[in-house]
Amino acid sequence: MHNENLRRDEAADRSAIITVSSYEITLDVRAAEDAGSTGFSSRTVVTFDCSSPGADTFLDFIPARVQSVTLNGAVLDPEQVVDGARIMLPQLAEQNTVIVDGTALYSRSGEGMHRFEDPADGETYLYTQYEPADARRVFACFEQPDLKASFSFHVRAPERWTVASNGAETSRDQHDDGSATWHFAPTMRISTYITTVLAGPYESVTDEWTGILDGGEVLTIPLSLFCRRSLSAHLDAARIFDTTRRGLTYFHDLFQYPYPFGKYDQAFVPEYNLGAMENPGLVTFTESYVFQSRATHAQYEARDNTIMHEMAHMWFGDLVTMTWWDDLWLKESFADFSGALAVAEALDSPTSWVTFATRRKAWAYLQDQLPSTHPIVADIVDLEAAKLNFDGITYAKGASVLKQLVAYAGFEAFASAARSYFRKHAFSNTTLDDLLGALSEASGRDMSDWAQRWLQTSGVPQLAAQVETDDDGVYTSLAILQQALDPVSSTPAPRPHSVRLGLYSLDSNGRLLRTASHDVLLDGDRTEIPELIGSAQPDLLLINDDDLTYAKLVFDDRSLATLLSSADRLEEPLARAVCLAALWSSTRDGILSADDYVEAVGRTAPAEEGVGILQQLLQNARHAVEHYAPVPARMALRERFTRFLLRGLEAAAPGSDHQLVWARALAATARKTATLAPLVRGLLEGTETVDGLVIDDELTWQLWQALAAQNLATVDELEAALQRDRTASGRTGFTTACTSFPDTAVKARAWKEAVFGDRLSNELLSATMVGFQQGPSELRDPYVDAYFQEIERVWRELPIEMSARIVRGLYPGDQDLAEGSVPEDHPVVVLTDSWLDEHTGSPQSLRRIVVEERDHLLRALRAQQAAG
């Protein structure tokens, strides 16, 4: 629709004149089990005040059709007042009631009311997902975060179903047709994007949490878990409830503001676009967190982190909400930081911050070096821009900067600021200035300069040690240099860094141990470190020990040599994670070759105790082989990497998490390594075994995908495997395998399904595109021109969730640099540039994705050139 993309100025104009009191929303999903039923009835009754009687405004609604609109008792003609995604409301009174009856559509994109049919038993499941602005796909509303209200939901559904919403169920009406209507308690004042409905034959488990508040009051919170019936045997409820109870205890102690939303339900739902969503009273999660195959410690920790992240949102985001999407970081950065913090503190996890350094910050560094980089406090002009701003900057960079804030101002100041912020702004909306006021008051210092330099600038600062020593290896000069150019403004933007310098040396047993550390404040382009003058140069100087700040690191020559030869001897896990992340950053920048990086991983990974670090190292090394190694050297490097994986699998303890990580890495590598095919088939057929390794469903599909990509499996074999695993995840694995065959007809069908079809759900669309991208790039060459011809149409015709998947997933980015050529002259880069030049008027969100994909391709080509 032409006016779906609500602008920031339109939202500000609307909130300037209206205040919303309440919504009564009635949904009828009785026919959801009928595959031929495309929609459901939706009735909204909303009451609101207008500070300028006589003014006009509009509701947001994206239905199949609107049957009726009534404003203050007057029936309005839908033909006259419905304009695309908006319902115009003319001549408002001081107090207003509007009633909208319409038919909303079920979704297969994960936006609005998503409908899913379980392939295991044929059951139908519904859930909603709205952020940033898809509540309007389910009911008529004022779709912007600062127009909070109380919401009451009433849902009619098959009586055998389970139905849940934000509020507790208050009553249920039985009907003669085998349906029932569930009525739910009104919510506190919340934003539209965090309302929710869940309906279907979900299995549920209950528990409760009880805590004593500061004043001695006892607070009891009912807990529930939901998942599909066919998954219920895999739901480890006791472990999830334990994490939940510990989190509630921790956040109540930290924030000192009682959880205000009554019950705390958590639902694991199919084909979910996100990790989770912080709907108060009913948090939704991807059901991939219900582990059907064996899960490693890293996977459990990731789920714990997500549970804690969403719980932190109950305060940062739900209780206090940003006014507009510019300040999305006010909830996401804080939740990302608080999630890692709670896993470390509430669950006593020694690896939480290691995982953060290894995975989350890697995401931030990647995102912040793209041409689309932006400040943490972003300039979000409309909803499409908001949709794409749920990125590594808003989440992980913001969380990293908050960790630096704690190092700079102190943890108590951070906690005190959060407490006063919640008390002052409960159930309302805020901007950056509101948080700065709380931080300045709590820390006793003006935080505006710190915020301007960290939150309102872009790019990754770089910290490098400049070292001089005498003939005895004693420091005669040591300074830390900072390079920090804001790529958006093209101006210098040095940040203040409260860091810990770690000095590490090899002991007589060959262990690389910390011998000293010094806390320093780095500011400006150059900071002298006089306290280390006269001391012996260590084997490794780690500028960002304990990972307190956000910066790329450049090691001095001796430190780099130590890391390349002895990173496996660095016993401190967080220091090791920081150093290995820095090596990966150098590889991505073309400073360290793919060959050198894989060699370093080959020495480090076999001794790596952290499963999360091991998993990331092997993923990085595989990416380096396939994308950063020059073509003439790639085959030999791939074979060397393969031998290294085989040795790692053989040496791993039977039945260990490490063994499973090595096996999964081997399966992924086997997609391009024909020499592994006999082992892969042997593992599938049972003629090859690895002591302690169970070939579960997840690994089975990874192995079949590897054989299919090498054209060493048959469709009949894949269909037989699907008959043995008739689950949603099995169907996804099957889809990827079937589209992985290196066959022109297979690629043609996959392309047609993804670009022109309407049969695929969000998850199956992604699975199809993953398979399409397998095999020699020559198979996909015929679709390069077609990609650029179709993406604008795709963006125009499909929901943004589906169109964004297609534009990213089908970009022809798997390319190699011909010997002697220049990356910028590569045909795909030239085509991309031509499209961007010729489509300056295309939606900025579409252009952003294309620009980002171009940058990923150029980075790979430049790395190949540098190593060639």
Task: State pLDDT tens for residues 211-264.
Answer: 999 888 999 999 999 999 999 999 999 999 999 999 999 999 999 999 999 999
Do 81 and 96 fall into the same domain?
yes
Q: For position 96, which CATH number holds?
A: 2.60.40.1730
Whether 639 and 526 share a structural domain: no
Residue type, 200: G
Mean pLDDT across the chain: 97
Note whether 450 and 474 are same-domain residues: no
In the prediction, which pLDDT does 839 show? 98
- Please indicate, yes or no, whether residues 712 and 769 belong to a single structural domain of this protein: no
Catalytic: 310?
yes
Tens-digit pLDDT profile for residues 130-171: 999 999 999 999 999 999 999 999 999 999 999 999 999 999
- Domain boundary residue, one of 682, 716, 750: 716
What is the Cα 854 distance to its own chain's centre?
Answer: 21
In this structure, are 619 and 505 located in the same domain?
no
Partners of 506 in beta bridges: 512
pLDDT value of position 1: 65
User: Residue 725's CB: how many other CB atoms inside 10 A?
Assistant: 20
Domain end (from 535, 570, 588): 588
Percent of the chain residues past pLDDT 70, beyond the cut: 100
Threshold 0.95, pTM exceeds: yes
User: Is a pLDDT exceeding 70 seen at residue 552?
Assistant: yes
Tell me if 382 is assigned to some domain.
yes
Residues 127 and 8 in one domain: yes
Question: Residues 151-170, buried b or exposed e (16+ Cβ, 10 A)?
Answer: bbbbbbbbbebbbbbbbeee
DSSP state of 636: H
Burial class (CB in 10 A: 0-12, 13-18, 19+), 80: exposed
Q: Hey, how many other C-beta atoms are within 10 angstroms of the C-beta on 179?
A: 18
Residue 182 located in a structural domain: yes
Output the 3-class SS for 289-344.
HCCCCCCCHHHHHHHHHHHHHHHHHCCECCCEEECCHHHCHHHHHHHHHHHHHHHH
> Do residues 631 and 694 both lie within one domain?
yes
Residues 14 and 133 in one domain: yes
Closest-CA residue to 624 (of 357, 366, 369, 860): 860
Going by the DSSP 8-state scheme, the letter that residue 570 receives in this structure is B
At 650, the amino acid letter reads: E
Q: Would 613 be classed as within a structural domain?
A: yes
Q: What is the pLDDT of residues 462-494, one digit of tens each?
A: 999 999 999 999 999 999 999 999 999 999 999
**Does residue 728 belong to any structural domain of this protein?**
no
Owner of token pair 């509701």: 59
Contact 364, 392 (CB under 8 A): yes
Q: Is residue 250 part of a domain?
A: no
Which residue type occupies 438?
Answer: A
Tell me if 723 is assigned to some domain. no
Rounded distance between C-alpha atoms, residue 532 and residue 476, angstroms: 9
Residue 795 CA to its chain's centroid (Å)? 22
Buried b (16+ CB within 10 A) or exposed e, 201-212: bbbbeebebebe
Same domain for 450 and 515, yes or no, is no
> Rounded CA gap, 58 and 78, in Å?
13
Query: Domain boundary residue among 201, 218, 251?
Result: 201
| DSSP annotation string for 347-358 | S--TTHHHHIII
For the chain, percent of residues with pLDDT exceeding 90:
99
**Into how many domains does the chain fold?**
5
Contacts of 743 (CB under 8 A, 6+ apart): 711, 779
For residues 136 and 66, what is the distance between their CA atoms, to the nearest angstrom? 12
pLDDT at 215: 83
The answer to whether position 268 is within a domain reads: no
Q: For the domain that residue 537 is a member of, what is the CATH number?
A: 2.60.40
pLDDT (tens digit per residue) in 5-44: 999 999 999 999 999 999 999 999 999 999 999 999 999 9
Q: Where are the alpha helices (DSSP H) in 605-653?
A: 611-623, 631-651
Backbone φ and ψ for 661, nearest 5 degrees, come out as -65, -45
Each residue's pLDDT tens digit, 272-320: 999 999 999 999 999 999 999 999 999 999 999 999 999 999 999 999 9
| Same domain? 582 vs 602 | no
Burial of 650 (0-12, 13-18, 19+ CB in 10 A): exposed
Residue 521 pLDDT level (bands cut at 50, 70, 90): very high
Question: How far are the Cα atoms of 11, 39, 49 from residue 15, in angstroms, in the given order?
Answer: 6, 31, 11
104 and 159 together in one domain: yes
CA pair distance 730, 614, nearest whole angstrom: 26
Pairing label, strands 57-60, 86-89: antiparallel
Its domain, for residue 625, covers: 593-716
Token pair belonging to 156: 């009619």
- Give me the catalytic one of 143, 310, 608, 763: 310
- Burial degree of 535 (CB within 10 A; 0-12, 13-18, 19+): middle
Q: How confident is the model at residue 2 (pLDDT cuts 50, 70, 90)?
A: confident
Sheet of 86-89: strand order equals 57-60, 86-89, 82-83
Q: What angle do CA 693, 669, 740 make, to 5 degrees?
A: 105
On whether both 70 and 111 belong to a single domain, the answer is yes
Comparing CA positions, the residue from 379, 278, 370, 402 lying closest to residue 327 is: 379
Q: Answer yes or no: is 240 within a domain.
A: no
Q: Contact 560/539 with Cβ under 8 angstroms?
A: no
**Integer Cα distance of 824 and 813 in angstroms:** 13
**Is the CB of residue 197 less than 8 Å from the CB of residue 153?**
yes
Specify the pLDDT at position 214: 84
Instruction: Return the CATH number at 347.
Output: 1.10.390.10
Give the Cα-Cα-Cα angle 45, 48, 54 (nearest 5 degrees). Answer: 115
